[in-house]
Chain A
Amino acid sequence: MGRLSHLLLWKLNLRAVIATVGILVLVAGAGTFVYASSTSNFQQTINAGTLAVDIVDGSYVTVASPSVVMSTATFSFACQTITGTFGSATQNIYVSNPDAADNGWTASLAASATTAIWDSVGTDYDFNDNGTSGCADSAVDTDALGGQMTVDPSVGTLATGQCNSCVTTNITKGSSTAFLEGTTNSITVLTAAALSNDIGDWKLTGVSVSQKIPEEQPAASDYDINMVLSIVAS
Chain B
Amino acid sequence: MQRFFLITIIAAVLLSWPLNLRGLEYGGLGGRPAIPDPAIPNSQNWFIYALAPGTVKEDAVIVSNGGTEPVDAVVYPADATPSSDGGFALKQLEETMIGVGSWARLYPRERPTFADRLGTSILDWCGSPLDGSGPQSNRLTPAQKLELITWCRGVTSHELTLDGGQEISLPFVISTPPGLSAGEYTGGVVIQKKQPAASVTESGVQITTRVGVRIYQTVPGAVNKTLRISRFTIGPAAQPGYFTITLGVTNPSSVSLDHRSRIAIINRWTAQQQIIERPGQVLRDDELVINFPLKKPFFGRLRLQATVTYDVDGRSQSITSRVLHVTSIHWSLWAVVALLALGLGALLVRQRRGQSRRGSVPYSVKPYEDISALADRFGVAWQQLARLNRLNPPYRLTAGQVIGVPKRSNPKSGSRGHKKR
Contact residues of A with B, CB < 8 Å? 6, 9-10, 12, 14, 17-18, 21-22, 24-25, 28-29, 48-56, 60, 62, 64-70, 84, 86, 94, 96, 98, 100-103, 106, 108, 110-115, 150, 152, 154-155, 161-164, 172, 174-177, 183-188, 191, 193, 199, 201, 209-210, 221-234
Q: Which of B9, B89, B289 contacts A232 (CB 8 A)?
A: B89
Say which size band chain B's interface belongs to.
35 or more
How many A-B residue pairs lie within 8 Å, measured between CB atoms?
A: 245
Q: Is the CB of A230 within 8 A of B209?
A: yes
Residues of A within 8 A of B198 (CB): 65
> Which of the candidate stretches B26-34, B222-230, B330-338, B410-418 sits at the interface with the other chain?
B26-34
Q: Is the CB of A224 within 8 A of B204?
A: yes
Given contacts A54-B29, A188-B83, A188-B86, 5 further A-B contacts (CB under 8 A): A18-B8, A49-B24, A113-B94, A152-B239, A177-B84
Q: Which of A25, A28, A52, A106 contacts B26 (CB 8 A)?
A: A52
Residues of A within 8 A of B89 (CB): 106, 108, 110, 185-186, 188, 230, 232
B368 interfacial by beta-carbon distance below 8 Å: no
Residues of B within 8 A of A100 (CB): 30, 32, 45
Residue pairs across A and B with Cβ atoms less than 8 A apart, 29 shown, are A14-B4, A17-B5, A21-B12, A48-B44, A50-B31, A55-B207, A62-B69, A65-B196, A65-B199, A67-B205, A84-B205, A86-B207, A94-B26, A103-B45, A106-B87, A150-B238, A161-B26, A164-B22, A191-B85, A199-B24, A210-B238, A224-B200, A224-B205, A226-B195, A227-B205, A227-B207, A231-B210, A232-B211, A233-B213
Residue of B nearest to A150 (CB): B238
**CA distance in complex: A68, B207 (Å):** 8
**CA distance in complex: A167, B417 (Å):** 92
Residues of B within 8 A of A152 (CB): 238-239
Residue of A nearest to B64 (CB): A50
Q: What mask results when residues 179 to 210 of chain B are scored 1 for a CB within 8 Å of chain A, else 0? A: 00000000010101001101111111111111
**CA distance in complex: A21, B204 (Å):** 60
Q: Is the CB of B205 within 8 A of A25?
A: no
Residue of A nearest to B42 (CB): A103
A175 to chain B, nearest CB (A): 4
A151 to chain B, nearest CB (A): 9
Q: Which of A199, A201, A209 contacts B205 (CB 8 A)?
A: A209
Contact residues of B with A, CB < 8 Å? 1-2, 4-5, 8-9, 12, 15-16, 22-32, 42, 44-46, 62, 64, 66-67, 69, 81-90, 92-95, 188, 190, 192, 195-196, 198-214, 237-239, 244, 278-279, 281, 289-293
B101 to chain A, nearest CB (A): 13
B141 to chain A, nearest CB (A): 43
**CA distance in complex: A174, B293 (Å):** 10
Q: Is the CB of A155 within 8 A of B85?
A: no
Q: A9-B5, A233-B45 are in contact. Are A108 and B211 (CB under 8 A)?
A: no
Residues of A within 8 A of B32 (CB): 50, 100
Residues of A within 8 A of B81 (CB): 185-186
Q: A96-B24, A101-B45, A230-B209 are in contact. Are A177 and B92 (CB under 8 A)?
A: no
**CA distance in complex: A106, B115 (Å):** 41
Residue of B nearest to A63 (CB): B207
Q: Is the CB of B84 within 8 A of A188?
A: yes
Residue of B nearest to A180 (CB): B289
Q: Is the CB of A10 within 8 A of B212?
A: no
**CA distance in complex: A185, B46 (Å):** 23
B356 to chain A, nearest CB (A): 53
Q: Is the CB of A60 within 8 A of B26?
A: yes
Residues of B within 8 A of A54 (CB): 26, 28-29, 209
Q: A17-B5, A224-B205, A233-B46 are in contact. Are A52 and B293 (CB under 8 A)?
A: no
Tell me which of A56, A64, A69, A232 has the highest count of chain B C-beta atoms within 10 A of its own C-beta: A232
Q: Is the CB of B26 within 8 A of A56?
A: yes
Q: Which of B9, B90, B200 contacts A230 (CB 8 A)?
A: B90
Q: A21-B12, A60-B26, A65-B196 are in contact. Are A227 and B206 (CB under 8 A)?
A: yes
**CA distance in complex: A115, B32 (Å):** 30
Q: Is the CB of A65 within 8 A of B25?
A: no
Tell me which of A6, A86, A191, A221 has the highest count of chain B C-beta atoms within 10 A of its own C-beta: A191
Q: A25-B15, A230-B89 are in contact. Are A96 and B28 (CB under 8 A)?
A: yes
Q: Which of B92, B204, B214 contacts A70 (CB 8 A)?
A: B204
Residue of A nearest to B280 (CB): A191
**CA distance in complex: A6, B281 (Å):** 76
B240 to chain A, nearest CB (A): 12
Q: Is the CB of A232 within 8 A of B212?
A: yes
Residue of A nearest to B279 (CB): A193
Q: Is the CB of A229 within 8 A of B16?
A: no
Q: A65-B196, A86-B205, A172-B278 are in contact. Are A50 and B88 (CB under 8 A)?
A: no
Q: Is the CB of B84 within 8 A of A66?
A: no
Residue of A nearest to B258 (CB): A234
Residues of A within 8 A of B28 (CB): 50, 52-54, 62, 96
Q: Which of A115, A162, A177, A185 contacts B22 (CB 8 A)?
A: A162
**CA distance in complex: A56, B23 (Å):** 17
Q: A28-B16, A65-B199 are in contact. Are A184 and B289 (CB under 8 A)?
A: yes
Q: Is the CB of B212 within 8 A of A175?
A: no
B336 to chain A, nearest CB (A): 29
Residue of A nearest to B84 (CB): A177
Q: Is the CB of A51 within 8 A of B30?
A: yes
Q: A55-B209, A222-B203 are in contact. Are A175 and B25 (CB under 8 A)?
A: no
Q: A21-B8, A29-B16 are in contact. Are A67 and B84 (CB under 8 A)?
A: no
Residues of B within 8 A of A106 (CB): 83, 87-89
B418 to chain A, nearest CB (A): 69
Residues of B within 8 A of A22 (CB): 12
Q: Is the CB of B204 within 8 A of A162?
A: no
Residues of A within 8 A of B9 (CB): 21
